[in-house]
Structures are given as C-alpha cells and as structure tokens.
Amino acid sequence: MAKQTLGRNLETLLQPRAPAGSGVRSLMRETQPEAAPPAKPVIPRWYLFGGDLLLASLAIIILYTSPHPLSWKKELFCGAVLALGGCLALAALFQPDASCAGAGVTPK
C-alpha cells in the first residue's frame, strides 16, 4: 500500500499553465467598462404618496367614527397608521429621481 505524502502531484502544479480565458482577462483589466445607467425605480413615487394619503384618511375616519374617548388600542393603531404613512412619504421623497440620474458625471 502506497504511503500518503504531502507533496504528491506537486510537479503538476508547478508546470506552466494555459493562458487565462476571456472572463479572467476582463476581470484583470485596469480599465472597467462604463456602468449602465441606473434603472427606473421599482415603485413610482405617486404610489407612495397615494398610500400616505390613504393611510392618513383611514386614521381620520377612525377618529371621527369611533365613540369618544378612544380606547388605547385605537389610539395606538391610528398612531401606527400615521407613522407608516410618514415612512411612505419619506421613502417617496428620498427615492432617486430618474431625471437627475447621473447628475454631476461628465461625459468622456
């Protein structure tokens, strides 16, 4: 039975290798190809603003149709609905605009 050694087949690793393929050469290039322009946002802004308005109107309807004083559960629900609507509005405001994409980048 042959004895296992650490350097078995080491000579095959030391032989010159075949040239790299085109994928490896493209990764090793110094200059990178130009990046593609950013894609349009997945969700349009007006969907987010519309969701904000619908959630705010839901909270107002709950406030005016419920008997007063409101229970703590309804107050918590209305607060959570308004907070979610505010998050939607902020997401719409901070969403990158397609018309401003690439602003400040000078063409070659």
The reported pTM is: 0.52
Q: Return the SS3 of 10.
A: helix
pLDDT higher than 90, residue 20: no
What length does the chain have? 108
> Between the CA of residue 63 and those of 4, 47, 66, 76, 91, what are the distances in Å?
80, 24, 6, 12, 26
Cβ neighbours, 10 Å, residue 15: 6
What is residue 105's three-state secondary structure?
Answer: coil
Kindly report, residue by residue over 58-91, the tens digit of the pLDDT.
Answer: 999 998 998 889 899 999 999 999 999 989 888 8
Residue 92 contacts residue 55 (beta carbons within 8 Å): no
Q: What mean pLDDT is reported for the chain? A: 77
Across the range 31-37, mean pLDDT stands at 67
DSSP 8-state code for residue 7: T
Check pLDDT > 90 for residue 4: no
